[in-house]
């Protein structure tokens, strides 16, 4: 339904909000399991999965591209370095950064919906 109302921008905003919510849960899980031996920190892959979407979106002979969902993956940087410990201060800082990012996305989505409301109401409030 979001695609019909706001087009691809609204679809992308919704997917980014979903990824932010998932990212918050992953940070909480990493913090909760920090003292578990052998625990590999998890990350959310979303922005990386969007890399090819922009190129496909400009094509006129293809249907509107499908936005890939966010995916939970093991932290490849931690695995490659051999240090798979969960660093609590790092996780807490990234969690705070994610909250700010999510709030900015939510404000953007809200403003987009306000503009669509103005369009529907012929500019009247």
Q: What pLDDT, in 10s, does the model give residues 12-34?
A: 899 999 999 999 999 999 999 88
Neighbours of 106 (CB within 10 A): 14
- What is residue 91's three-state secondary structure? helix
pTM of the predicted model over 0.75? yes
Locate the domains of the chain by residue range: 2-120
**Pairwise pLDDT comparison (80 vs 115), residue with the higher score:** 115
Query: Residue 91's Cα: distance from chain center in Å?
Result: 16
Please provide residue 73's backbone torsions phi and psi, each rounded to the nearest 5 degrees.
-135, 160
Neighbours of 17 (CB within 10 A): 16
């Amino acid at each position: 339904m979001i695609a019909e109302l706001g087009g691809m921008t609204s679809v992308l905003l919704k997917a980014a909000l979903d990824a932010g919510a998932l990212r918050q849960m992953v940070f909480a899980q990493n913090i909760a399991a920090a003292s578990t031996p052998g625990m590999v920190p998890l990350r959310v892959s979303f922005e990386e999965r969007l890399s090819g979407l922009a190129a496909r979106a400009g094509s006129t002979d293809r249907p509107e591209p499908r936005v890939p969902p966010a995916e939970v993956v093991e932290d490849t940087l931690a695995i490659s370095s051999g240090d798979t410990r969960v660093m609590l201060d790092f996780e807490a800082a990234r969690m705070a950064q994610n909250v700010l990012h999510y709030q900015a996305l939510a404000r953007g989505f809200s403003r987009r919906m306000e503009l669509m409301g103005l369009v529907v109401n012929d500019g009247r409030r």
